[in-house]
Structure 1
Amino acid sequence: MTGAASMADEGAAIGRGYERHSEAVDTARRTAIAGGPADAVARHRARGKLTARERISHLLDPGTPFMEIGQLAAHDVYDDAVPSAGIITGIGMVEGRLAMVMANDATVKGGTYYPLTVKKQIRAQNIARENGLASIYLVDSGGAFLPMQEDIFPDEHHFGRIFRNIAEMSSMGLPQIAAVMGSCTAGGAYIPAMCDETVIVRGTGTIFLGGPQLVQAATGVVVDAETLGGADVHTASSAVADHLAQDDHHAIALVRAVVARKPAQPLPAPPLPPREPLHPASGMAALIPSDGRLRIPGRDILERLLDAGCLDEYRARYGQTIICGTGAIGGYPVGIVMNDGVLFSQSAQKATNFVELCCQRDVPLLFLHDISGFMVGQEYEADGIARHGAKLVNAVSTARVPKFSLLIGGSYGAGNFAMCGRAFGPRLMGMWPNARTSVMGGEQAATVLSLVREAQLHKAGRSFSEEDRRTFEAPVRDAYERASHPVYAAARLWVDAVIDPEDTREWLTLALAMAAASPKQETRFGVFRM
């Protein structure tokens, strides 16, 4: 067999492996986009209402992209199906300005808030705050899902945080605009009541702290929803709403008019001439090994991601298991921190220094994860690998340049922390369909736990055969594989999106453009243990 034929066969095998990885993601996406069941959609339309995704489509400037956040949220998490956690959130252009759009999906359990609905909306608000975006709320919700109230109502990052965020962002001069296009009940009534300006649709929009049933239970008075809190009440009597709309289309036009009062703010032009990558991005998936234990060829990925494939590498000959350097994506400068093997002390020190340089020069950071963790062993512990790793975690934690994180392979344990995992404040975090994340790999976890089990049995004077070991380890591996999958992670909002490799460059270009328009922040590092 010739070398060329061997490479072709290997490439075909890799492609098949990637298709297997992405199949579950594609299924979850179709479920999310479909929204609620067909009968719920039919009832929604019978009331003359657009669906949540249709509302967003009409709201956005024609021909502009929509960067959806949390599309797979709540997938297979609850006993009930709650596609996209019952709320569509994402970033789009409205009247020439970037805005965070949050649209309740009333076809999903009447738009009621599950715990992940709350988490998703707060995540969207945090992105809006950090990037200086206006927030637009397309409200159509029955309020909190009462059977799970203890996971929705009382805590610091539960329902009340949504309203606090509205107040704080308004105080920062970030527009808060609501359109009430359906129910807006109980605590949810504070969304339109607290926004800077509010539109309400006649005949379908209602706002009340207590619905007709609660009013009857509390006071004995029987009243219908329109009389209690309809559009005429709130535009003519209560002044909770500012603008009366005749239907969804009219409401969207009014929202766009409110946004248009401030001058358009187009995304800043890239400071460098955009150039195509060295190789087409369409070839990215072919670089992903079928076996997730094999390392992804990082430099080949960069040739398909960076403008002209160019990386001005930092300390290329030192700490070679991590690649650091500056390049550009779509003409926007970016500092790359990319794994190329397990992290050693030298790797951590090199990356720490590079993060410092990017902060000093105000260059955004992109972390590309393919990491099993830090090197372990007596020699490395004695060399202070925990101290050197802590320097990198410190630098990543306190860096105030825009940070973006993308899992292209594994992202395990402390390696995830050092590479700007979710806890370390990336402005956006994505994951490829082949990527995996957990405290450690399933194989390692199964081995560690079986060794612990063997020691326990040995202490009790009992045996632990090879068959016992296999029986014990199999469910551990299965559980770790399920919980480390991108759909599992995205369903719980551990990442903002699952991104196909060929779409990565476009996704990052929009992210970097958005960051270029956001307010600058000064970095102050903590104490580095020397």
Structure 2
Amino acid sequence: MTLGNGFVSSVRKPSADFAANEAAQQALIEQLQSALARAAALSNAARPRFEKRGQLLPRERLARLLDRGSPFLEIANMAGYLVDSDDPDTSVPGASYIAGIGVVAGARCMVVVDDAGINAGAMTTTSTDKLLRVMDIALAQKLPFLHLVESAGANLLEYRVEMWVRGGGVFARLARLSAAGIPVLTVLHGASAAGGAYMPGLSDYVIGVRDNGRAYLAGPALLKAATGEIADDESLGGAAMHAGTTGLVDYLADSDAQALALCRDVVARLDWNRALALPERTGFAEPRYSPDELPGIVSVDYRQPCEAREVVARLVDGSDFLEFKPAHGVTTLCLQAAIYGIAVGVIANNGPIDPAGATKAAQFIQLCDQSGIPLVFLQNITGYMVGTTYEQAGMIKHGSKMIQAVTNARVPRITLMIGASFGAGNYGMCGQGYDPDFLFSWPGTQSGVMGGEQAARTMSEVLRAGAARKGVEVDEARVAAQEARVIDLYDRQSSAFYTSGRLLDDGLIDPRDSRRVLGMALQTCREARARTLNPNTFGVARL
């Protein structure tokens, strides 16, 4: 079972458990698809307005920019969901941006598209945080940063001072990208006003669309309110004016389509992959067990056990893996495998982490780090073991070893949350606080400091202990009411839809796409580690 090519799946698809798991997971997948389709439909409803201006819709711009047939790994697809609205049937995900890693003229790039079809691209509560996250990924993974701009900017009627303060970090990151030797390209499809004007101002290359593209620190309305001056859009900040007068626009296009073709041409002429000496990974085998079976394997009820090897067998090449220390710390699995020909170390959970499992994982992480092998964490963890036996066995000490190893590993770390993610188990399995290169979640993931029922029972014990100290009788009705409030408080926040909306991961994915997502993330990290940049001190100034 643990030797290479020796794993034999025990999954029986006609079984009642498989069917129940699959149905529950499918319902959540459909909820995800419905929310994403809602955002696309709302944006596409602006088609008459865009066509009147001779423009392409945001998603059409993205499709024109990317190499045809190439993969696109969307980042933070659920940002903002259940944040500005707590109604899952009306809340719109995306936070005003479509963002992700795609291939443009043969180069892997970070692409951000302002979703101007929704509220003219006005920023929401989480817009800034999403933009900061994708820019951090671009910097860490050495990806050219391409931004297709058309936005009304911040919604002044929903002003938040924290959004304004954090917004400065966007411009700081643009400067850091340029200084690091990572090209920043902006296509000015529409308005880029106020602080947004610094988006083209801090870009290395700017392509503007005649008549529609505009950049100004104060638009006509703000200018009139502030100074009384009356000016028109074109003379104040039109793309043609910037191309001929200020020099802000480097390339002037007559249409969205031409601007995107120019952007592709600029990227092609960067020759971004010229120094990569990476052999193409070929000859790997697809898993012997289909990733399409994953929804039937993992229950949406984290209290139901799941054999993690069954998940791994549907993710790795040839369903082939070698298990490290299989008889030691048996609830923590450490496996050597490959995904799309890239060697990986996989750490997965078959139960809570005990002292032996923590020390095994710590050693395995260090071994992978020594050999430069990326780590993949499959989180389905309720936490570290507790109780007198485990405390006396050094759970704190050994768990800390694992957390130290996770934190300080220098190799790429990619986390996939597939079930439970509770307590310090989230930390030891490379949760968001440990800055994994990428972290994606299945829609059925439940996460938090602990489960709602556990928190409620804990607080009930505290209430009863307090009553005992005071020598008074416990009010059981009060206990029951408190338990209901605590369960609702914890469980409402544990849903993957809630946490992903708050950018506590890099997005929700269909479980059946897990192998492809891991492959794209691993390939991105592999290229980044092999790429040499040409940094300078201050970035490229607009001259």
After TM superposition, the score normalised by the length of structure 1 is 0.92
Q: How far does residue 130 in structure 1 lie from its aligned partner after superposition? A: 1.1
**Distance between the aligned counterparts of 1:468 and 1:27, measured in 2?**
40
Q: How far does residue 470 in structure 1 lie from its aligned partner after superposition? A: 3.3
**Distance between the aligned counterparts of 1:317 and 1:5, measured in 2?**
26
Q: State the SS of the aligned residue for 1:103.
A: strand
Aligned to 1:73: 79
- The alpha-carbon distance between structure 1 residues 424 and 250, as it changes in their structure 2 partners (threshold 3 A), is same
**1:377 aligned to which of 377, 387, 394:** 387
**More displaced, 375-384 or 481-490?**
375-384
Q: How far does residue 461 in structure 1 lie from its aligned partner after superposition? A: 5.2
Q: Which has the higher contact order (CA 8 A, sep 6+)?
A: 2
**Distance between the aligned counterparts of 2:376 and 2:519, measured in 1?**
11
- The alpha-carbon distance between structure 1 residues 456 and 198, as it changes in their structure 2 partners (threshold 3 A), is same
Matched, 1:55 2:61: yes
**1:251 aligned to which of 250, 253, 259:** 259
Q: How far does residue 368 in structure 1 lie from its aligned partner after superposition? A: 0.4
Aligned to 2:513: 503
**Distance between the aligned counterparts of 1:37 and 1:464, measured in 2?**
58
- The alpha-carbon distance between structure 1 residues 270 and 314, as it changes in their structure 2 partners (threshold 3 A), is farther
**1:406 aligned to which of 401, 416, 426:** 416
Q: State the SS of the aligned residue for 1:493.
A: coil
CA contact (8 A) 1:36 1:83 kept: no
**1:28 aligned to which of 28, 32, 35:** 35
CA contact (8 A) 2:185 2:204 kept: yes
Which ranges in structure 2 are unaligned for 5 or more consecutive residues? 1-9, 532-543
Aligned to 1:136: 146
Aligned to 1:106: 116
**Distance between the aligned counterparts of 1:341 and 1:350, measured in 2?**
15
Alignment of 1:208-357 (within 5 A): 208-263=216-271, 265=273, 268-269=278-279, 271=281, 273-289=283-299, 291-357=301-367
**More displaced, 285-294 or 158-167?**
285-294
Q: State the SS of the aligned residue for 1:178.
A: strand
Amino acid in the other structure paired with 2:234 = E
Amino acid in the other structure paired with 1:168 = R
Q: State the SS of the aligned residue for 1:200.
A: strand
CA contact (8 A) 1:408 1:434 kept: yes
CA contact (8 A) 2:36 2:93 kept: no
Aligned to 1:193: 201
Q: How far does residue 337 in structure 1 lie from its aligned partner after superposition? A: 0.8
CA contact (8 A) 1:28 1:487 kept: no
Amino acid in the other structure paired with 2:507 = A
Aligned to 1:434: 444
**More displaced, 445-454 or 383-392?**
445-454
Aligned to 1:363: 373
Aligned to 2:215: 207
Per-residue deviation, residues 406-435 of structure 1 (Å, max 9, x unmatched): 111101110000000001111111111221
- The alpha-carbon distance between structure 1 residues 272 and 341, as it changes in their structure 2 partners (threshold 3 A), is farther
**2:160 aligned to which of 136, 145, 149:** 149
**Distance between the aligned counterparts of 1:5 and 1:195, measured in 2?**
55
Alignment of 1:75-94 (within 5 A): 75-79=81-85, 82-94=92-104
CA contact (8 A) 1:270 1:330 kept: no
After TM superposition, the score normalised by the length of structure 2 is 0.90
Pairs aligned (count): 515
Matched, 1:514 2:524: yes
Matched, 1:179 2:190: no
Q: State the SS of the aligned residue for 1:207.
A: strand
Q: CA RMSD in A?
A: 2.2
**Distance between the aligned counterparts of 1:463 and 1:36, measured in 2?**
59
Q: How far does residue 82 in structure 1 lie from its aligned partner after superposition? A: 5.0
Q: How far does residue 449 in structure 1 lie from its aligned partner after superposition? A: 1.9
Q: How far does residue 364 in structure 1 lie from its aligned partner after superposition? A: 0.3
Q: How far does residue 224 in structure 1 lie from its aligned partner after superposition? A: 1.4
Matched, 1:445 2:449: no
Q: State the SS of the aligned residue for 2:304.
A: coil
**Distance between the aligned counterparts of 1:207 and 1:97, measured in 2?**
28
The sequence identity of aligned pairs, in percent, is 37
Q: How far does residue 183 in structure 1 lie from its aligned partner after superposition? A: 0.7
- The alpha-carbon distance between structure 1 residues 351 and 220, as it changes in their structure 2 partners (threshold 3 A), is same
Q: How far does residue 5 in structure 1 lie from its aligned partner after superposition? A: 9.8
